Amino acid sequence: MGDFYIPTLDRSIRYDRAVGYFTSSSLSLIAEGLDGLTRNGGRIRLIASPHLTPEDIEAIAEGYELRDVVERAVARELDPTVERSTIDLAKLALVSRLIASGTLEIKLAIVRREERLALYHEKIGLIADTYGDRIAFSGSLNETRAAYIDNFESIEVFKSWVAGDARRVDRIANDFESLWADQTPNIEMFEFPSLALEYLRQLAVRVETTGTPRGLGHLRSRAVVDATAAGWATTPSEIQLRDYQKQAIRDWFQNECRGIFQMATGTGKTVTALAALDQLGRRIREVNRSLLTIIVVPLLDLVEQWSEELDRFGVTALKCRDSVSVWESQARNMVAGLRSGVSRSCILIVTNRTFGGTAFQRLLSNVSEPMLIVADEAHHLGAEHLRAHLPEGATFRLALSATPERWFDEEGTSALRAYFGPTLVSLGLKEAIDLGALTPYRYWPVLVSLTTEEAAFYSELTLKIGALFSKQLNGKSKDIDAFALEQLLNKRAKVLGHAALKIPALMKEIVRRPKAPFQLVYCAEGGRPTEEGASGDSQVGDVLRLLGNDLGMKVHAYTSKEPKAQRRELLKAFASGTELEALVSMRCLDEGVDIPEARVAYMLASSSNPRQFIQRRGRILRRASGKRTADVVDFITVPPQDPDLYKIEQKLFRREVARFAEFAKYALNYGEALATMRELREYYSLMDV
């Protein structure tokens, strides 16, 4: 056991095990060797055969339902009235919490050929780590102490990274998945009985009253803490909340634990929310109640970030994302554990997409315990298809966003405020910089002209747009015209975003900061528009060639094309300051990516939605060791200044000036930035913006 079982599980995130038979002693052994797996946020799936007595077999022959007999057999093994050693009690109590937290799932297998029954007696196992490597084993090893410690037992072990073993690993993995899905011929699968869960809960209660025995401290991990605080988030001692964070939490409680934290990106919204959860948990425990916490996030990267922060607060959350089959049964077990009292607190992190899906909504409909909804980047939930799914039964509600107002959607914004409550803290950029929560910055607007060809294309598109607007004003517009107008507006915006002269302008700015690390480049999306309608070269490709080939920098793209694992490695390389000097992105660095080391952001293109450039500015202003100031370099495309198109250009350029004003007003070099734009603002009569 010490040579194989514990060392491999210590480095794992997944343990799948099919064993010969189910007894209370075999179940208690699951508790050993799991410190590493639970610390890593891992999951266990166990398949075993119930121990059927001759009386059980006779009952089946007399016509009793097999499911009922299996339930009695399993419950008999866990009878809470049976005398057990203190150590075995502690182990079974831990198993109870593993099930309640969603870490452990158990299914029962019976071999059934026509009217004949037999024990499922296969013995296989799979262990996987975070890198995707897997170990598969099979052989005579049972899940018993004698097998692990006393007997002479042998197993065959296969490794996925060894060419000759990979096929065997895949075969064993496929066999297990077929079993788990109840697709193996002649084998009937049963869910773990609710009566057995209740007996485990009663065993856990016995441990609560007697305490954990000496020498079993190794059974308590960060994911499964002692019974008096199982699953409750606890603020670690190294986190010292700022005064504005403490006040936000106090205001939240005064408003009956409902409200919005409007805090600038980088000011600690996540930590503030988890500290509030800690305080709420303490009050819930005082009245001996349970709490289900649902954290809703828009992006997969944010799922990981919240999971890591929760780990700092001493709990492991279930990540509800990807395929429903990955998380649904575990989430269902966790909710059932709250209902039965096996656990008092559990936390689910769910993406917006999964949150709005049928499976998750079905799960929420079965919740009767107090519930806390935490919405990160809450403005997303104002969308009609998502806000309709916000559970009215949630007693406690907390929304987090630097910009809770929805762009051109007053109805969605009002719906968010109606559901979550009022804004309790509004910590803007200036206040955050003055408090030392964010880094002071300099703002450098760079004016870029269109080429002759781009200016002609821009003017042509503008004339077509004007004609369609005229039809709208005269009431002669049709649906097809509205679609055409949208297409033309998008194409004209792309002409500005992909302006060819931005690349040499970027080169001049990069050269001003030779070989400086921690640089981000935000590019226009898609390819350069053409008059023929096809997309030309991408700006990302142009920038990569400039930085990597022409300037010899260590640079890499950070886009949706890079796999999630690779994006994590890219962020680590970027944070080192030596392995990677710059990241080039389109939208993947807008929300949910924590890169406090970034010192310079080159904004070649931004949408007209102010939320996007506010989020991007927030990325660059996070505090980091040795970071005293940051630079935002904003490339602003100047319209052709055609007198015949003055009014249209003025309206369009107003958006660019609005972004400029937002960036400039809190910059260290405010006066210098104003001087750069003064002539254009006067020409377009936009000095009031």
Whether 470 maps to a domain, the answer reads: no
**For residues 10 and 628, what is the distance between their CA atoms, to the nearest angstrom?**
40
List all residues 6 or more positions away from 333 whose beta carbon is below 8 Å from its beta carbon. Answer: 99, 100, 102, 105
Across residues 58-65, what is the average pLDDT?
Answer: 75
Whether 114 maps to a domain, the answer reads: yes
Looking at the fold, whether 415 and 445 belong to one and the same domain comes out as: no
Which of these, 544, 614, 612, lies nearest to 581 by C-alpha position?
A: 544
User: Which among 410, 434, 458 is the end of a domain?
Assistant: 434
CA distances in angstroms from 260 to 178, 216, 419, 422, 601, listed in the order given: 46, 43, 10, 6, 29
From start to end of 503-639, where are the E strands? 519-522, 527-529, 535-538, 555-557, 582-585, 600-603, 630-638
The per-residue b/e assignment along 43-54, b for 16 or more CB within 10 angstroms, e otherwise, is bbbbbbbbbbee
Looking at the fold, whether 300 and 256 belong to one and the same domain comes out as: yes
pLDDT at res. 685? 93
List all residues 6 or more positions away from 525 whose beta carbon is below 8 Å from its beta carbon. Answer: 497, 586, 587, 605
pLDDT at res. 222? 33
More confident residue, 448 or 145: 448
Whether 494 maps to a domain, the answer reads: no
pLDDT, tens digit (0-9, with 9 covering 90-100), for 374-401: 999 999 898 888 999 999 999 999 999 9
**For residues 310 and 10, what is the distance between their CA atoms, to the nearest angstrom?**
20
Whether 688 maps to a domain, the answer reads: no
- List the structure tokens of 684: 């377009």
pLDDT at res. 54? 78
The rounded mean pLDDT for the chain is: 83
CA distances in angstroms from 317 to 313, 314, 399, 404, listed in the order given: 11, 10, 19, 26
Ramachandran quadrant class, 509 (left: phi over 0; alpha: psi -120 to 50; beta: rest): alpha
Domain coverage including residue 655: 441-450+499-683
pLDDT at res. 23? 64
**In this structure, what CATH number is given to the domain that contains residue 417?**
3.40.50.300
Burial class (CB in 10 A: 0-12, 13-18, 19+), 358: exposed
Across residues 658-663, what is the average pLDDT?
Answer: 88
Q: How many CB atoms lie within 10 A of CB 579?
A: 14
Residue at 206: amino acid letter: R
Contact 192, 106 (CB under 8 A): yes
Q: How many CB atoms lie within 10 A of CB 386?
A: 19
**For residues 593 and 591, what is the distance between their CA atoms, to the nearest angstrom?**
6
User: Which among 158, 186, 218 is the end of a domain?
Assistant: 218
pLDDT, tens digit (0-9, with 9 covering 90-100), for 113-135: 766 776 666 778 899 987 788 99
Whether 486 maps to a domain, the answer reads: no
Looking at the fold, whether 238 and 190 belong to one and the same domain comes out as: no
Q: How many CB atoms lie within 10 A of CB 177?
A: 15
Residue 29 above 60 pLDDT? no
Q: How many CB atoms lie within 10 A of CB 36?
A: 17
Contact 445, 429 (CB under 8 A): no
- Intra-chain end-to-end CA distance of the chain, in Å: 71
Looking at the fold, whether 251 and 198 belong to one and the same domain comes out as: no
Looking at the fold, whether 177 and 237 belong to one and the same domain comes out as: no
pLDDT at res. 324? 87
pLDDT at res. 295? 97
The per-residue b/e assignment along 596-627, b for 16 or more CB within 10 angstroms, e otherwise, is bbbbbbbbbbbbbebbbbbbbbbbbbbeeeeb
Looking at the fold, whether 28 and 171 belong to one and the same domain comes out as: yes
Contact 34, 99 (CB under 8 A): no
pLDDT band at 653 (very low <50, low <70, confident <90, very high): confident
DSSP category for residue 622:
B
Q: How many domains does the chain have?
A: 3
Residue 594 has φ and ψ, to the nearest 5°, of -95, 105
195 in helix, strand or coil?
A: helix
CA distances in angstroms from 428 to 17, 402, 437, listed in the order given: 52, 8, 11
Whether 109 maps to a domain, the answer reads: yes
Whether 411 maps to a domain, the answer reads: yes
pLDDT at res. 649? 84
pLDDT, tens digit (0-9, with 9 covering 90-100), for 586-614: 877 766 577 889 999 999 987 666 667 77
pLDDT band at 272 (very low <50, low <70, confident <90, very high): very high
**In this structure, what CATH number is given to the domain that contains residue 169?**
3.30.870.10
Looking at the fold, whether 339 and 369 belong to one and the same domain comes out as: yes
Whether 490 maps to a domain, the answer reads: no
488 in helix, strand or coil?
A: helix
Looking at the fold, whether 526 and 410 belong to one and the same domain comes out as: no
More confident residue, 510 or 480: 510
DSSP states of 572-611 as a string? Answer: HHHHHSSS-SEEEESSTTSSS---TT--EEEES---S-HH
Residue 32 above 50 pLDDT? yes
Looking at the fold, whether 190 and 299 belong to one and the same domain comes out as: no
227 in helix, strand or coil?
A: helix
User: Which among 380, 406, 434 is the end of a domain?
Assistant: 434
What pTM was estimated for this model as a whole? 0.64
Looking at the fold, whether 265 and 412 belong to one and the same domain comes out as: yes
Looking at the fold, whether 636 and 551 belong to one and the same domain comes out as: yes
- List the structure tokens of 12: 């794992």
pLDDT at res. 226? 41
Looking at the fold, whether 308 and 366 belong to one and the same domain comes out as: yes
Q: What is the CA angle 667-601-669, rounded to 5?
A: 20
pLDDT at res. 362? 93
